[in-house]
Amino acid sequence: MRRQTFIIIKLILYYFGYQLGFSAVAMVISRFIAPMDMTTMTSLAMVASTLVMAWHLIHFGYVRPSRDRYKEVSLPVLGISVVFIFAAMYVLNLLIEQAGIPNTMEDTFIAMSRNPFGILSIALLAPILEELLFRGAIQGQLQESGMRPWTAILVSSLIFGVVHMNPAQIPFAFLLGMMFGWLYYRTGSLLPGIVGHVLNNSIASINMLLYGNATIEEQMPNPAEMWLWAAAATAVCCFAAIWLNRNIIK
C-alpha cells in the first residue's frame, strides 16, 4: 500500500507540475515571442499539459490497454451508461446550484468556452486525461493494492474532487467521480467514463457559451417544471443504474 500511495502522490505532483510548467512556458512565449491574451495563454497551457500528462501515464505504464480495455463494452451498456451519467448531471448540477456553493472559476470557464483551444481542453482533452489518471491510474493502483473496490472508488473520487480546488466543482466532481469509478469497476473499461465525461464537459461548455453564468433556475424560470425534470432525471438515473448493475458482465 505504501508503494501505491507514493505512486499516487507522484502522479498528482506531475499533474500539477505539468500545468505549472506549461503555464510558465506560455507566459514566456506571450511575453517575448507571440503576445496572447490570458485566456488563450491559459487554454494553450492546458492543452499542452494535458497531452503530455496523458503521454506520461501511457508511456510509463500507469494505464495499459491490456488492463483498461477500451473496446470491450457492448453498445447497450455504453448507451445506458451515457443515459445514466446524463441524468445524474442534471440532478447534481441543480442540487449544487440550490446549495449556493460559490463557483470561483466561473469567469475563467466562460472565457475558455469562447476560445477554440479552451473548448478543446475543457470538452475533450481534460475529460480523457482525468479518466486515464483518476480511474485508470489512481483507482487502478488502489484496487491492485488489495483495497476493497468501493473504498478505492471513494478514495479516487475524493482526490478527483479535491484537485479541482473550486468549491462548486468539488462536490460535483466527487459524486460524478463515484459514478465513473463504479462504471470502471463494473465494466473493467475506461470507455463509459470517458464518453460520459466528454459529454458532461461538452454540455457544460455549450451551456456557458450560450447562457454564460445563468443558472438552471434562470434558464427554466418555472419551478414546477424544473423540479419535474429533476424528478424524471432521478428516476431515469436509478433505472439506468439498476439495469447496468444487472447486465454488465465483467
Mean pLDDT of 47-55: 97
Q: Whole-number mean pLDDT of the chain?
A: 90
Integer Cα distance of 212 and 90 in angstroms? 17
For residue 229, tell me if it sits in a domain. Answer: yes
Could you list the residue range(s) of the whole structural domain that residue 129 is in?
68-247
Enter the pTM of the model: 0.92
105 grid coordinates? 472559476
Tens of pLDDT, residue by residue over 176-186, are 999 999 999 99
Q: What total of structural domains would you count in the chain?
A: 1
For residue 8, tell me if it sits in a domain. Answer: no
Mean pLDDT of 67-73: 62
Mean pLDDT of 23-34: 92
For residue 31, tell me if it sits in a domain. Answer: no
Integer Cα distance of 72 and 69 in angstroms? 6
Confidence band (pLDDT; 50, 70, 90) for 195?
A: very high
User: Judging by beta carbons within 10 Å of its beta carbon (0-12, 13-18, 19+), is residue 199 exposed, middle or buried?
Assistant: middle
For residue 5, tell me if it sits in a domain. Answer: no
Integer Cα distance of 248 and 188 in angstroms? 10
Q: Is residue 239 over pLDDT 80?
A: yes
For residue 15, tell me if it sits in a domain. Answer: no
For residue 126, tell me if it sits in a domain. Answer: yes
- The confidence score (pLDDT) of residue 64 equals 77
Confidence band (pLDDT; 50, 70, 90) for 86?
A: very high
Mean pLDDT of 28-57: 94
For residue 16, tell me if it sits in a domain. Answer: no
- The confidence score (pLDDT) of residue 224 equals 82
- The confidence score (pLDDT) of residue 128 equals 96
* Cα–Cα–Cα angle for 230, 231, 234, rounded to 5 degrees: 85
Q: Is residue 249 over pLDDT 70?
A: no
Nearest to 10, CA basis, from 138, 184, 170: 138
> 127 and 198 in contact (C-beta within 8 Å)?
yes
Confidence band (pLDDT; 50, 70, 90) for 203?
A: very high
Higher per-residue pLDDT: 135 or 247: 135
Indicate the SS3 state at residue 129: helix
- The confidence score (pLDDT) of residue 248 equals 79
In 3-state terms the chain splits into helix, strand, coil percentages (rounded to 5) of: 80, 0, 20
Mean pLDDT of 77-89: 93
> 84 and 237 in contact (C-beta within 8 Å)?
yes
- The confidence score (pLDDT) of residue 144 equals 85
- The confidence score (pLDDT) of residue 244 equals 92
77-106 core/surface letters (b: 16 or more CB in 10 A; e: else)? bbebbbbbbbbbbbbbbbebbeeebebeee
Q: In angstroms, how far is the first alpha carbon of the chain from the final one?
A: 25
Mean pLDDT of 38-51: 96
Mean pLDDT of 75-92: 92
For residue 2, tell me if it sits in a domain. Answer: no
Integer Cα distance of 101 and 245 in angstroms? 32
Q: Is residue 44 over pLDDT 90?
A: yes
Tens of pLDDT, residue by residue over 141-177, are 899 888 899 999 999 999 999 999 999 899 999 999 9
Mean pLDDT of 221-241: 90
Nearest to 85, CA basis, from 181, 172, 179, 164: 179
